[in-house]
């Protein structure tokens, strides 16, 4: 079956076409496209919801037309439409949901609402590397830091989460303290490659707590005081800025990896999926490799770590294989706990 997928939960408009065999579970991406809004929001230092919604509205229709033309497909070839229904920015979600529902109604195609986080945690399946159940997923992005036990498609248990700032937020806010441009995560990672992580002593928040939760606000505060002590961001030379970036990255990665490995031990599930934008961080991946004897790690391709529509298509495909029932009882949900996600398939 061929699935057209739409992702518009935040600041990337994305479309994808996925062709999957329900009997075997195999499939392939026929095409995908992502339009980033980074340059649009950079001057504001972060995502502006209203601006994001307008960008999605302008970008989405021509992107769908383009990807279908490139694949040589028409609406009659589409068996289902998958769309991110939450969580995310309400206005941004409504652009994708409204388009999907309208297209479904016009062309008599079922519409499948997909949980954004489910898309991320199943993303390794795009390359045929989804581990056997149960497995643990560390989901780290700009707005989320979660540890999830996955016992099957649609069977998710939240076992750890951030109590304040997510890891991605800490990267972005720390980058701002260093005088780096938005988005901060990639900038910190770039400078960290040239830095000495041992020069600045930064905390590893909650690492020694006997739980699986996270907290990164204290690390952000420690960075703020360290920068002030150095005379402010303008007083930092290139070496100091690189060393601070390396220290920030080392602290965040150590907490994430050690908590994730602890979760695998406690849950007796030695298979670990790392998903979300921060999963593309090279230092995180290198640190994970040091636990190869204890935990088998599954990672999406770097291009499928950040928000994309291919993962939304795959999540819908995986759910269809479980025999989801048709329903019209769903809507966009800016707040949507992962363990409440539904397997509903919307009738047009």
Q: Which residues does the annotation place in the binding site?
A: 116, 120, 139-143, 172, 185, 281, 307
β-sheet bridge partners, residue 32: 16
Residues contacting residue 102 through CB under 8 Å, at least 6 positions apart: none
Binding-site sequence positions for substrate: 139-143, 172, 185, 281
Binding-site sequence positions for Fe cation: 116, 120, 307
Q: Is 159 helix (H, G, I), strand (E, B) or coil?
A: strand
DSSP collapsed to 3 states, the chain:
CEEEEEECCCCEEEEEEEEECCCCCCEEEEEEEEEECHHHHHCCCCCCHHHHHHHHHHHHHHHHHHHHHHHCCCHHHCCEEEEEEECCCHHHHHHHHHHHHHHHHHHCCCEEEEEHHHHHHCHHHHHCCCCCCCEEEEEECCCCEEEEEEEECCEEEEEEEECCCCHHHHHHHHHHHCCCCCCHHHHHHHHHCCCCCCCCCCCCCCCCCCCCCECCHHHHHHHHHHHHHCCCHHHCCHHHHHHHHHHHHHHHHHHHHHHHHHHHHHCCCCEEEEECHHHHCHHHHHHHHCCCCCCEEECCCHHHCCCCCHHHHHHHHHHHCCCCCECCCCCCCCCCCHHHCCCCEECC
Q: Is 237 exposed, middle or buried (0-12, 13-18, 19+ CB in 10 A)?
A: exposed
């Amino acid at each position: 079956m061929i699935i057209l997928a739409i992702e518009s939960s935040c600041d990337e408009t994305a479309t994808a076409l996925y062709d999957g065999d329900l009997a075997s579970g195999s499939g392939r991406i026929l095409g995908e496209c992502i339009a980033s809004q980074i340059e649009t929001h950079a001057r504001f230092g972060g995502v502006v919801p209203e601006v994001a919604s307008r960008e999605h509205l302008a970008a989405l229709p021509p992107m769908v037309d383009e990807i279908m033309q490139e694949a040589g497909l028409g609406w009659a070839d589409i068996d289902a439409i998958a769309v991110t229904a939450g969580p995310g920015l309400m206005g941004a979600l409504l652009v994708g949901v409204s388009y999907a529902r309208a297209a479904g109604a016009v062309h008599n195609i079922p519409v499948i609402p997909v949980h954004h986080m489910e898309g991320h945690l199943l993303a390794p399946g795009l390359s045929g590397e989804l581990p056997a159940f149960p497995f643990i997923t560390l989901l780290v992005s700009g707005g989320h830091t979660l540890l999830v036990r996955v016992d099957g498609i649609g069977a998710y248990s939240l076992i750890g989460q951030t109590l304040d700032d997510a890891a991605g937020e800490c990267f972005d806010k720390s980058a701002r303290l260093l005088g780096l441009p938005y988005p901060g995560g990639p900038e910190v990672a770039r400078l960290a490659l040239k830095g000495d992580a041992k020069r600045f002593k930064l905390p590893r928040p909650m690492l020694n707590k006997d739980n699986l939760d996270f907290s990164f606000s204290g690390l952000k505060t420690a960075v703020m005081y360290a920068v002030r002590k150095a005379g402010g961001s303008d007083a930092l030379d290139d070496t100091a800025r690189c060393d601070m970036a390396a220290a920030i990255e080392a602290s965040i990665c150590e907490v994430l990896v050690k908590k994730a490995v602890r979760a695998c031990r406690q849950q007796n599930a030695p298979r670990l999926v790392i998903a979300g934008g921060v999963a593309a961080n090279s230092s995180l991946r290198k640190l994970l490799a040091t636990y190869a004897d204890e935990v088998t790690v599954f990672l999406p391709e770097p291009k499928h770590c950040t928000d994309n529509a291919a993962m939304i298509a795959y999540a819908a495909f995986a759910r269809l294989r479980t025999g989801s029932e048709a329903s019209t009882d769903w809507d966009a949900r800016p707040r949507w706990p992962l363990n409440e996600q539904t397997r509903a398939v919307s009738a047009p």
